[in-house]
Amino acid sequence: MKSLTDYEMPDILRDFLNYLQTIKGKSINTVQVYFYDLRVFFRFLKLHRNLADKKMEFDEIGILDVDAALLRTVTLSDLYSYMSFVSNNRDNTSHARARKVASLKTFFNYLNTKAKLLDTNPTGELESPKIIKRLPRYLNVEESKKLLSSVSTVEGPNSVRDYAILTIFLNCGIRLSELVGINLSNIKNNTLTVIGKGDKERSIPLNNACVQAIAEYMKVRPVNGIKDKNALFISGHKQRISKESVQKIVKKYIKEAGLDPQRYSTHKLRHTAATLMYKYGNVDIRALQELLGHQSIATTEIYTHLDQQQLRDAVSKNPLADFGSSESAMTKDDE
């Protein structure tokens, strides 16, 4: 994956991204998302102001000439036009548009209050699109077992590694970035330490399935010629496995298991682990929040809404569940 230094960008944007990383402490992945979002906006702005050839491919429009003078001309109306553009021309979902609004607000607030390059902030009245909350997709127990079993049906030199990757996803509920970042030194006394969002460290106990899968992988893990000797999962090129490679691996086995590769992904495996832990582990929601590394309890609480059978059982076991009918029966007997 390219680093930000590999991209051409105007100084005003580079200064902002440096501010996010060095002062606000944002991770490199988060900073890169800001860059992508603002690059799209800059390209749109140039088209909108007739500063770019309309026949040019959108993704080929250069942004080096975007400066404070151009950004001072941005109005709320321009921002609404931009949101319409990313919705209609780039098929952005409400989640993607909401993220772009957040990126714009942070950027223009920086220009206004920190860099002092703008007298006013055009995003002050810009509202975020309404997001329809949907319950996360996840694999049930049988589907999860089928996914793990699918590894044995695909012959290959990396099957033991791939099985360990799937096992950790389904049992620990870690993020893709956390999985590829695992170092050998992060595993001690059957406990895995990962670095999550905001560079926050958390510990995850490893169950028997994970301990065994990692132990089997360590028997075949490459030793000689490895570029990152501390990395747990090694690619065919003998370097730390990339996020893109893991995504391809997961998609391959999802397909092999007869599941829909368009419906499930590495993040859906995180949802699966969280759901199964909550549903079968009798785990406190605060403990689950800590385990998943959620900053807000509201993010974790979505897993409390997944199992309708649990809700029905809880309601039926209420000691007052039959009180009304019994009371009615008594009243009729008295009559």
161 a catalytic residue: no
Whether the pLDDT of residue 225 is over 50: the answer is yes
133 a catalytic residue: no
pLDDT of residue 224: 92
Choose the weakest-confidence range: 89-98, 109-118, 160-169: 89-98
Listed in sequence order, the DSSP H helices in the chain are: 11-22, 28-48, 68-71, 76-88, 94-109, 141-149, 159-172, 176-180, 208-220, 243-256, 266-280, 285-292, 297-300, 308-316, 323-334
Q: In what order do the strands lie in the sheet with 187-188?
A: 187-188, 191-195, 201-205
Q: How far apart are CA 207 and CA 225, in angstroms?
A: 31
pLDDT in tens, 122-180: 999 999 988 766 667 889 999 999 999 999 887 788 999 999 999 999 999 999 999 99
User: Which residue is catalytic, options 43, 46, 270, 279?
Assistant: 270
197 a catalytic residue: yes
175 a catalytic residue: yes
Which pTM was predicted? 0.62
Comparison of pLDDT for 304 and 31, the residue scoring more: 31
**Three-point CA angle 191, 27, 261, nearest 5°:** 70
**Pairing of the two strands 187-188 and 201-205:** unpaired
Q: Which of 237, 12, 251, 268 is nearest to 115 (CA)?
A: 12
pLDDT of residue 282: 77
User: Which residue is catalytic, options 99, 105, 146, 197?
Assistant: 197
The answer to whether the CB of 108 falls within 8 A of the CB of 78 is no
Query: Sorting pLDDT into bands at 50, 70 and 90, what band is 328?
Result: very low
Query: Sorting pLDDT into bands at 50, 70 and 90, what band is 37?
Result: very high
Whether the pLDDT of residue 325 is over 80: the answer is no
pLDDT of residue 95: 86
**Three-point CA angle 33, 38, 44, nearest 5°:** 135
pLDDT in tens, 236-295: 999 999 999 999 999 999 999 999 888 888 999 999 998 898 888 878 888 889 889 888
pLDDT of residue 163: 96
Whether the pLDDT of residue 332 is over 60: the answer is no
pLDDT in tens, 185-219: 999 999 999 988 877 899 999 999 999 999 999 99
294 a catalytic residue: yes
Q: Which of 99, 90, 86 is nearest to 34 (CA)?
A: 99
User: Which residue is catalytic, options 46, 100, 271, 294?
Assistant: 294
Amino acid identity of 296? S
User: Which residue is catalytic, options 175, 268, 271, 279?
Assistant: 175
188 a catalytic residue: no
Q: What percent of the chain has pLDDT over 90?
A: 65
Whether the pLDDT of residue 327 is over 60: the answer is no
pLDDT of residue 316: 66
Query: Sorting pLDDT into bands at 50, 70 and 90, what band is 320?
Result: low
- Please tell me what DSSP assigns to residue 186: G
pLDDT of residue 27: 84
If you average pLDDT over every residue of the chain, what do you get? Answer: 88
User: Which residue is catalytic, options 137, 146, 202, 267?
Assistant: 267
Query: Sorting pLDDT into bands at 50, 70 and 90, what band is 329?
Result: very low
Whether the pLDDT of residue 299 is over 90: the answer is no
